[in-house]
Amino acid sequence: MENVYRTPDQAFADLPDFPYEPHYLEWDGLRTHYLDEGPREGPVALLLHGEPTWSYLYRKMIPPLVAAGYRCIAPDHIGFGRSDKVTDDRWYVIDRHIERLAGLIARLDLRDMTMVMQDWGGPIGLINAVAMPERVARLAILNTWLHHEGYAYSPAIKAWRDAATNRHWLAWTRHDLPCGAIVRRAAVRPVADPVALERAYEAPFEGSIAAKAGARRFPWCIPYAEPEAGAAERQAQAFEALKQWAKPVHVIFGEADPIFPASWGQEWAGMIPGTTFDAIERAGHFCQEDAGPEIVARLLERVSASNSR
């Protein structure tokens, strides 16, 4: 395919706390990357990132999940991480991300899945979950949402979309979405090495403004402004389907997130039968960065309690 950027492997060399080998599948002529760690037999933890991150976001959660016996699959959406990056912004609509994830699940024949989802990983993952419930054991919903009638978008998410779609602001940044700085500045807990953290989240783009098309497009697709590109109808259908969901759901939100606040997570949990809710103190929007091991510990406690009933 024309207009595709493939990040050189050396851009990912020596990232801190990230010793994982890459794995690839072809999808619609594009190379899509995923991590595959842990035992090949047994339950699967499917770890889905959002904007503007990649599978690096889950590096703190993979070791305790593997220690608990999970096979961890952490894919990079097209446009992110080690996956190919279409450089035409117009290519990116949420339906393509949904279809690409469905293809990966089918190709790897993933079953008995605990789906862990945050930010845009929520709509992309949950639409797939309700379409293939036979493959899903449980849902772990981190800071995210599903668009539906009456959903109250926070002032923070509206401000984020306005900034991220403002060409004058993007030109002023000189980096056309400073992905690394966005993650670092959202941290609630102290960051041991801010420079290394920023480098890790900029690595997939290696200084290429064109390669950030996918990161630019995610905020543009937020469905209160772009319902078709944002798969608004499919999101609303998944939201309604979850009200009849019969398998365990664990909602775990960073309590300091202004984008998807914990109050929304608690309200949402109350709409899904039997769902648990936990708020993680001193964790923000990128809760995996602030409290990855703590989230895993809380999830495993909930799974154990659910299994013992």
168 carries an active-site annotation: no
119 carries an active-site annotation: yes
28 carries an active-site annotation: no
Q: Is 196 helix (H, G, I), strand (E, B) or coil?
A: helix
Of the residues 84, 257, 278, 290, which is catalytic? Answer: 257
Q: Is 23 helix (H, G, I), strand (E, B) or coil?
A: strand
Q: Is 194 helix (H, G, I), strand (E, B) or coil?
A: helix
Region of residue 240 (left: phi > 0; alpha: psi -120 to 50; beta: else): alpha
Q: What Å distances lie between residue 261 and 75, 108, 189, 256, 287, CA to CA?
A: 25, 34, 17, 7, 12
Of the residues 97, 147, 250, 285, which is catalytic? Answer: 285
Sort strands 23-27 and 4-5 into parallel, antiparallel or unpaired: unpaired
Amino acid at 258: P
Q: Output Rg (C-alpha) for the chain, integer angstroms.
A: 18
Q: Is 136 helix (H, G, I), strand (E, B) or coil?
A: strand
Of the residues 119, 176, 278, 290, which is catalytic? Answer: 119
| Two tokens, residue 254 | 């960073």
Do the Cβ atoms of 64 and 23 come closer than 8 Å? no
E-strand stretches of the chain: 4-5, 23-27, 30-37, 44-48, 71-75, 85-86, 113-117, 136-141, 249-254, 276-280
**Active centre residues (catalytic):** 119, 257, 285
